[in-house]
Amino acid sequence: MGQIWVYLWTAWDWSRSALALFSVAGISIMGLVAAAYALFKFLGEKWLNQKFAEQLEAYKSEQARELERLRHKINGVFDRTKRLHDREYEVLPEVWAKLVEAKNWAGGYLSPFQQYADVGRMSDVDLVEFLDKTSFLEAQKRDIKNASNRQDLYIKICEMHQYFDVMEKLRGASVGLSKDGIFVIPSLRDDMKKLIELIHSAVIEHQINQEHNVRPRMKEGGDKLKNEGELLFEKIEESVAARLWDSTTVEV
């Protein structure tokens, strides 16, 4: 603002000098005023145009910097989102597969309908050949061969191996979810964790019933898995499918 006063004061000095000169020359006061006004208007417009141009250029520069900052921020968010989704699509099928495997193995272990080879009717030679094809420990094979009731001991050892196998599958599902669950949406991760807990409780309950021949049988865990687990499993399946297929169904 100080600059315009410099212009104006210069114009006024010039006008006073010109006024004195023009008065000597016989030029009218009105003509001098008109000339002074024209000069003032010219200098004022020039100053205003200069200031406007400077402010416009500063505004454009600021806008350019802001747009660049926003572009960088948007690109960063998009890149992180893409990486997260890519990782989710990698781990989600693996976590789902381990969960399904654990559920299926548990279902076989918990089923009241079990089939076992009739080792009690086998000859010693046939029994040895049969047991060699199993994953039993050598000590367990010897115990079955020397047992007075081969069938009962064989079933007991089979159930023990089933139990350990199921627990191993559950452990794999739980570890997988703990390790990669951060890439799974929280609601789906919580449902998976709850299903693993339901299966685990039912398996432990069944193992205690079998090992200690509990009468009457404990069934709270098994009933809860049956009543809540199946519905929860279907919900998880739908959620997993929705997450994996979402990109192919979204309208662009």
- Statement to judge: residues 131 and 238 lie in one domain: yes
Least confident range from 42-46, 81-85, 145-149, 233-237: namely 42-46
Evaluate whether residue 158 is within a structural domain.
yes
Q: Once rounded to an integer, what is the mean pLDDT over residues 85-104?
A: 93
Same domain, 120 and 189: yes
Q: Which residue has the higher pLDDT, 158 or 23?
A: 158
More confident residue, 8 or 245: 245
**Higher pLDDT residue, 181 or 72?**
181
Residue 106 falls within a domain, yes or no? yes
At residue 36, the pLDDT reads: 58
Q: Pseudo-torsion of CA 78, 81, 83, 89, nearest 10°?
A: -140
Average model confidence (pLDDT) for the chain?
83
Shared domain check, 52 and 119: no
Tell me the pTM: 0.70
Enter the tokens of residue 252. Answer: 């662009």
- Confidence tier at 252 by pLDDT (50, 70, 90): very low
Does residue 35 or residue 234 have the better pLDDT? 234
Q: Given a cut of 70, is residue 125 above it in pLDDT?
A: yes
More confident residue, 52 or 243: 243
Lowest model confidence (mean pLDDT) among 18-22, 141-145, 235-239: 18-22
pLDDT of 60 strictly over 80: no
Question: Does residue 103 sit in the same domain as residue 12?
Answer: no
Domain span at residue 30?
2-72
User: What is residue 75's predicted lDDT score, i.e. its pLDDT?
Assistant: 59
Which of 69-78, 100-109, 162-171, 189-198 has the least mean pLDDT? 69-78
Q: Which residue has the higher pLDDT, 215 or 14?
A: 215
Residues 106 and 227 in one domain: yes
Residue 169 in contact with residue 186, Cβ under 8 Å? Answer: no
Of the pLDDT bands very low, low, confident and very high (cuts 50, 70, 90), residue 10 is low
Please tell me the total count of domains within the chain. 2
